[in-house]
Amino acid sequence: MADVKAKAGLEDIVATDSSICFIDGDRGVLSYRGYDIHDLARFATFEEVCHLLWHGHLPQKHELGDLQSQLAAARPLPEPIIRLMKMLPPGDGMDALRTLTSALAHYDADAHDNSPRASYRKAVRLTGQMASLVATWGRLQVGGGPIAPDPALGHAANFLYMLLGERPDPVAVRAMDVALVLHADHELNASTFAARVAAATLTDMHSAVVAGIGTLKGPLHGGANAEVMKMLLEIGEDAPPDRIDAFVRGKLARKEKISGFGHRVYTTEDPRATHLRQMSHDLGKRAGNLKWFAMSERIESIVKAEKKLNPNVDFYSASMYYTMGIAIDLYTPIFAVSRISGWSAHVLEQLANNRLIRPRAEYTGPAYPQTWVPLDQR
């Protein structure tokens, strides 16, 4: 171990082989199974991306139909899960999602079967159920009742219908579909790595996903878009340009972080931000209120000019979700609604060629050996 040097945060350390996701941060490239994220965002549905992540290829028409039927069958939640949800105290959506996802294992016939077929069934089931959990939790938090999924609706449309209680229009459905596609996977990010570490012990998929949820909950991984929206609200919807400028420059002068900017991997613009910027604009235009989008654009221009930082996936998703009428507390859980597809794909890949993940640490403690001193002489 003497010639192996530790790197803080495992930065740039290659931990495994994977055929799921490729990133070139210097060129701003993100691809799933070789497909550029820009093409997927423009043309693919979330269901097509799920099939791509799980099976390694885009689905043919009959394969997509089969997957859509499987997801529709998976979306209804067991009644005991809904009762448990109603018993939980109001609070952080990620806390609820972590607890409820764990509880789902008790009602899954495949819970402790790690065979390839059973694991795939759980991937589909959890993807359908995750959306239902978050939508139903969101309904309950505002005093609404659970809404049963509609098997005639796609995944994005169903989520918005179950959450907001009305049939979403095509612009909203398209925006949510794009958001789900963009958040589906991102190589060995913290939550995906946590899920793979758990899966490598041959624990069940539910436990591996709960590890991912718990990791995503951390503010250094998920949650930045919620902080972005809180910042926009603090500035104020009707703030004049000089107030926006003073607010942002004041934070920069105090060396305070501006949420939604910079990325560990990308030195260019996060390619996902490109599409979320457009979705934020389109939704604001549809709602007749482009103020949040305009404010976000102004903040982006200042931060890029002053700090040379680009917006990441979280920055424009904040104003996009807010314009859609989605509560801020649900922003990170919605991340999980999408990322469950990537988490489960990585669990499937880990189980297919498993080896226990057990890294080493560079020891920095007291020199060895220390001399033992009896208790009465210390």
Q: Is the dihedral of CA 89, 95, 101, 106 positive or negative?
A: negative
* Contact criterion met (CB below 8 Å) for 48 and 156: no
pLDDT higher than threshold 60 for residue 67 = yes
pLDDT higher than threshold 70 for residue 4 = no
Cα separation, 135 vs 326, in Å, equals: 10
pTM of the model: 0.94
33: Cβ–Cβ under 8 A, 6 or more apart, which residues? 19, 20, 21, 52, 53, 56, 57
pLDDT higher than threshold 90 for residue 264 = no
Measuring CA to CA, how many Å separate 145 from each of 136, 149, 302, 324? 8, 13, 43, 20
- Return the closest-CA partner of residue 98 out of 221, 217, 213, 219: 213
Q: Residues with catalytic annotation? A: 263, 314
**For 289-325, how does the pLDDT look when each residue is reduced to its tens digit (9 = 90+)?**
999 999 999 999 999 999 999 999 999 999 999 999 9
Phi, then psi, of 311 in degrees rounded to 5: -70, 145
The residue-averaged pLDDT of 265-293 equals 94
Q: Where does the pLDDT of residue 91 fall: very low under 50, low under 70, confident under 90, or very high at 90 and above?
A: confident
Q: Which two tokens stand for residue 32?
A: 């799933």
Name the helix (H) or strand (E) containing 21.
strand 21-24
Cα separation, 249 vs 261, in Å, equals: 14
**For 19-48, how does the pLDDT look when each residue is reduced to its tens digit (9 = 90+)?**
999 999 999 999 999 999 999 999 999 999
Average pLDDT, the chain: 94
HEC assignment per residue over 326-343: CCHHHHHHHHHHHHHHHH
- Return the closest-CA partner of residue 99 out of 179, 246, 243, 213: 213
pLDDT score at 5: 66
pLDDT higher than threshold 80 for residue 3 = no
More confident residue, 223 or 168: 168
Q: Which domains, and CATH codes, for the chain?
A: 21-72+171-360 (1.10.230.10)
Characterize 347-368 residue by residue with b for buried, 16 or more Cβ atoms within 10 angstroms of its Cβ, and e for exposed: bbbbbeeeeeeeeeeeeeeeee
